[in-house]
Structure 1
Amino acid sequence: MSSDLIREDRHVAQARDVCLRLLAARARSRAELERKLADKGYDEAVRTEVLDRLVAVGLLNDQQFAHDWVRQQHSRSGKVGAALAHGLRAHGVAEEDAQAAMEQLDPEQREGRARELVQRKLGRSSDSVDPSDQRLVGRLVGMLARRGYDSGLALRVVRSELAVLSAG
């Protein structure tokens, strides 16, 4: 075997080990691993070989990564819509995989999570809440908007939660 083949095999093994260490820490997209390997100086042929092999054995799957990431971000921070799309783009997930992953959140889930976020925010100061306070409404709608909720849903949820709070 020539020394070039041995050197290439060693580079492939090292690149594979880098990827496996990164994947052991947390799930990653193919683009993230591609960037990490490029930053470490691995050439394109080595990167492609390693990443294709990880896909083939099921350790790397952008569709599953996107699905899990959307579910986790929605559950943990209440993100939806544009906020999720932005995050998936930052991870290098293809548009069709991102869209499919975001479609797993149905409208009832989104509205329910928006209500939870508003209730949690209001729970800290519910005794001093004035439902007609437009600054409060604006802050709550803004909080939901930053998480990707559309303004119509955000306003409807905020008004509804403030009405419940003032009636109770």
Structure 2
Amino acid sequence: MSGWPQARDRSGPGGRRGRRSGPSPDPDGPDVAPGSTSDGDDPGDPEQVARSICLRALTGAPKTRQQLADLLAKRDVPEDAAERVLDRFGEVGLIDDAAFARAWVTSRQAGRGLARRALKAELRAKGVDGEVAEEAVALVDDEDEWAAARRLVERRLPGMRRLDRATAERRLVGMLARKGYGSGLAGWVVREALDQEWSDEDEAPAGHDQQGLDAWLP
């Protein structure tokens, strides 16, 4: 007698094998029931699809209305269905561009030292209305920008000691410009820092008085 296990007889009446009811799943993909998508959205209900997409997107981090609208368009959700869902999300507070903008400004100004000009540009790129962006950026005042610029320069200054003063000044001013600072404020902060670093009086620039500081203030 063979030691191999005997195969189970799966044949039905008349010796024919029984057939599983319903369509066979795609062997190369998930077993998805007809009329549904792999993530559970009903393709016949665009608003349900839009709601599911938005909720998943908002799980990771807050989004602006424009970011969600772009995502829905990319997923081929009809525009009218997308508008209705986005309106509803706004009504219940799941979309709040003003709150998003305030949080963005606070985080990016403290963490990256960005100036108001750069912050405003980032908010506009995310679809925040110009007036809403202006209100959020107003949370940063002149003293905040001054302090942030000085911190940025102080962090970079040790790496500039091997350079001559002119090269160090050019690079530091360029760094601040990329952060959104105007040339007046950037130049003042950099020269002040370099004056402390390079103590040679012959290199110290003249004109460091309140009048120079006022040049970049509105």
Bucket of the pairwise TM-score, normalised by the shorter protein: 0.7 to 0.9
Structure 1 residue 166 displacement after superposition: 3.0
**Secondary structure of 2:45's partner?**
helix
- 2:180 maps to 148
Distance 1:125 1:87 in 2: 29
Q: Does 1:135 align with 2:170?
A: no
The TM-score with structure 2 as length reference comes to 0.68
- Counterpart of 1:62 (choices 65, 87, 97) is 97
Structure 1 or 2: larger helix share? 1
Identity %: 39
Unaligned runs of 5+ in 1: 1-6
Distance 1:157 1:137 in 2: 10
1:13-32 matches, within 5 Å, as 13-32=48-67
Unaligned runs of 5+ in 2: 1-41, 200-218
CA RMSD of aligned residues (A): 1.8
- 1:91 maps to 126
Number of residue pairs aligned between Structure 1 and Structure 2? 158
Structure 1 residue 123 displacement after superposition: 2.8
Give the letter for the 2:47 counterpart: V
Structure 1 residue 67 displacement after superposition: 1.1
- 1:3 maps to none
- Counterpart of 1:109 (choices 139, 144, 155) is 144
**Secondary structure of 1:65's partner?**
helix
Whose relative contact order is higher, 1 or 2, with alpha carbons under 8 Å and at least 6 apart? 1
| Alpha-carbon displacement from aligned partner over 1:136-166 (angstroms, at most 9, x marks no partner) | 1111011001110111111111111112223
Structure 1 residue 9 displacement after superposition: 7.9
Q: 1:73 to 1:135 in 2, by over 3 A?
A: same
Report the structure number with the largest CA radius of gyration.
2
Q: Does 1:74 align with 2:109?
A: yes
- 2:189 maps to 157
- Counterpart of 1:47 (choices 54, 75, 82) is 82
